[in-house]
Structure 1
Amino acid sequence: MQPTANFTAANLTRSLLRRSRQGALATLMAGSGDPYCSLVNVASHYDGSPILLISRLAVHTKNLLADPRVSLMLDERAAGDPLEGSRIMVAGTAEEADGELKAVLRRRYLNVHPSAEGFADFNDFSFFRIRLSGVHLVAGFGRIVDLKPEKVLTSLDGAEALVAAEQNAIEHMNRDHREALNLYATRLLGAAAADWRCTGCDPDGLDMSADRHDALRLDFPRRVATPDELRVILKDLAEKARAAT
């Protein structure tokens, strides 16, 4: 894989944070400090930081409750040689959520993993958010970059109105604008036709997924901070998609 002129490490990292649905979680064994790795499902907070829903019965949960330092590897799961796909290693601390933050993490996680609703409220399950301390990107030959969190996370400053309206926007898009979502996926992002649905939105873009298909990230051409700005930009993107061949 050769570097290309339009390669931007921060943009690729942000895309992987938003599109990834599974990852390899590394924790430190309680007591011994030995490394331990496990497969987990992930979602993302408004700012892009990873969200976990894990059981206290699991070894990795016992580990991070004793020492919250973790790393999480997310990759593109490329066809063929998996080492040719881009991947990131996120380092940080796992913080258990409660109160209002727990409600936010629960909603965003279940939008991405609706099948988890059946056990999300079990007493032994908890939502965690990984607070990033650094990101290591490997994207092929000549594309190995270390990034600070502020370079890859989405700023939420001034976007409180959009954040508050997110769930209504998701439900509106999924109820009334499935055609537009499919156009975004097929004509703007080059994906196969499917029953694409919206799973999240934030100031920088829209997240979508479909059964048996990879998740997609539609980056906005400009930052949005209010529901009205979101409505305008989604309308503009739908018109652009309809005009595309």
Structure 2
Amino acid sequence: MAQVNKTSEKLDKAAFAADARSLLRRSFKGSLATIEHGNGYPYASLITLATDPSGAPIFLISTLARHTANLVKDPRASILVDATGALADPLQGARVTVGGRAEKAGDEAIRRRFLSRHKEAQVYADFPDFAFWRLQVEGAHYIGGFGRIYDLEPSELLVPLQGAEPLVEAEPGIIAHMNEDHADALELYATAFAEGASGPWRMTGIDPEGCDLVLGQEARRIAFAVPVTTPVEARQELVRLAAEARKRLPQQ
């Protein structure tokens, strides 16, 4: 019986870790907690979010903001992301707090992934006081409702990218191709697999574990059946998903 319970606990934790990863990928915003450099008190603020290919949170903030001044003095921070929405009892909803050290991230992939998700930020992204940051994840605390609470290691929260360099390098081309030539497939993914509404869904990111879709203020995460590490593998999985989606949806 003890062995059964341990197996069940491992399965539960794996499922909740996957939910935490999906929650981060889907989120447009989060609560950033920094350490107030003047008095040492916690300071919480609202920021817009995206993720890097591994799933680590990335954000665009101004040097004029208090949280930025705090991070310059002390990079330790945490970000709370929740999926409670309009639940009457939000404590029944899922949420995850990710902790680590924030650092500036000037590479083009971070900029592209963030602006793909937050097009409105293109207006001010190049202002001299703004910069992109990434949270170097050191751990996470996931709550899926009462009694479903787990601490997660970085290896459980982030997607390993070793061996997936070809996919990461090809990401801009894959996204452009899907958005320009296969908008119908993106709509199929969203409606068949993620209860999304019909409409012009856009792909904003792809990684070994899945892809991210956005329509207006809605975001969806589409999980792959198997990890992909190359453009060829990504194409095969995207074609398979489209075929599966057509089977699931009622014939028009």
Q: Do they fold alike, i.e. is TM over 0.5?
A: yes
Alignment check: 8 A CA contact 1:78 1:84 kept: no
Map 1:93-172 to 2 at 5 A.
Answer: 93-98=101-106, 102-172=107-177
Q: 1:76 aligns with which of 46, 62, 83?
A: 83
In the alignment, does 2:217 pair up with 1:212?
Answer: yes
Where does residue 44 of structure 1 map in the other structure? Answer: 51
Identity rate, percent: 47
> In 1, are the aligned partners of 2:140 and 2:152 still within 8 Å (CA)?
yes
Residue 80 (structure 1) shift = 2.4
TM alignment of 1:189-200, pairs within 5 A: 189-200=194-205
Partner-residue secondary structure (3-state), 1:230: helix
For structure 1, which runs of at least 5 residues remain unmatched after alignment? none
**Aligned counterpart, 1:90:** 98
Task: Give the CA deviation at 1:84.
Answer: 2.1
In structure 2, distance between residues paired with 1:114 and 1:212: 12
Q: How many residues align?
A: 238
Q: RMSD in angstroms over aligned alpha carbons?
A: 1.5
The Cα of 1:78 is off from its aligned counterpart by 2.5
TM-score (norm 2): 0.91
1:224 to 228, 238, 244: 228
Give the equivalent residue in structure 1 for 2:24.
17
Task: Tell me which of 35, 39, 64 is aligned to 1:32.
Answer: 39
Distance 1:7 1:93, change over 3 A: closer
Secondary structure class of the residue paired with 2:33: strand
Give the distance between the partners of 2:245 and 2:91, measured in 1 at CA.
Answer: 33
After superposition, give the CA deviation of every residue in 1:5-28 in whole Å (9 maximum; x if it has no partner): 798111111101111110000001
Report the secondary structure of 1:231's partner residue. helix
Q: Give me the whole-angstrom Cα distance separating, in 2, the residues matched to 1:171 and 1:152.
A: 27
Deviation at residue 228 of structure 1 after TM alignment: 0.6
CA distance in 1: counterparts of 2:81 and 2:226, whole angstroms = 26
Question: 1:141 deviation in Å?
Answer: 1.6
